[in-house]
Amino acid sequence: MDNWRKISITPVLNANGNNQSPNRSSPQQNSTDEATDSVPKPLRYQIPDNDFYSYLIGTWKRNLEWKEFGGLFPHIRTSNTVVMIEEYRGYDNDPSARHLKWSFGKSLEKSELRFGYSMKCVQAPKNTETYLEWTYIGTVCHGKYLPSTNVAVLNFFQPQSTVLVTYRVIDENTMSVCVVEVDKKQTPSIQYGNIVWCRDVLMFDIVHLSKTINTQVSNSIQHSHHL
């Protein structure tokens, strides 16, 4: 990837109108150029083999900020959702297709998650892109993942609502999310934030339990001081 700062090599005119060679620039200019060259080039995470299907498998936590889509974009609310994506056995005859089961909820307890949809994933030849298809509330929806930009777009086109979801892969554990929605009440909203993979759900539960215990102990100590 090219550096986002471009260093000009156009000759500079000095006070007499003569061309001044870039190699003979002032010490101040040299220091500026060196500082520019020292800016690290941004690194882009590459999913192994462009396998978006395998990348998605796991339990994620999605945090979104909701704003009204238009005008001054006033704040609506925030949301925190657990998203569990599992391998799922499909029933079509396409040997190249793989399926994912998406479930949503507020808890890491699998029994408390609600089924969302089953997604069909088909990789194009040479893994140049991945085609996505699923059925949501009786409507067939489509999406696509493009490795060239590390972006997946999911389109939910319903009879009375429209939802466009964009996922931008940041690293092996994180995606940025942007959702543009017009619901059946014709209320437009834009939702943005991050979705983070819970690498070890058990460890997450242990940390949460530890914080709860520490809080209870602290409250007990404070209560005893007032006795």
Mean pLDDT of 140-159: 96
Query: Looking at the predicted structure, is the pLDDT value of residue 19 above 80?
Result: no
Q: Which domains does the chain carry?
A: 48-199 (2.40.128.20)
Position 89 confidence tier, pLDDT thresholds 50, 70, 90:
confident
Separation in Å, CA 19 to CA 15, 16, 25, 30: 10, 9, 11, 17
Phi, psi values for residue 26, rounded to 5°: -70, 160
Output the CA torsion 193→197→203→206 (10° steps). Answer: 30
Stretch among 100-109, 193-202, 213-222 having the lowest mean pLDDT: 213-222
For 70-122, the DSSP string reads STT--EEEEEEEEEEEEEE---SS-TTEEEEEEEEESSS-GGG-EEEEEEEEE
Q: What is the mean pLDDT of the chain?
A: 80
Stretch among 4-8, 48-52, 95-99 having the lowest mean pLDDT: 4-8
The predicted model scores a pTM of: 0.69
- By CB neighbour count within 10 A (0-12 exposed, 13-18 middle, 19+ buried), where does 192 fall? middle
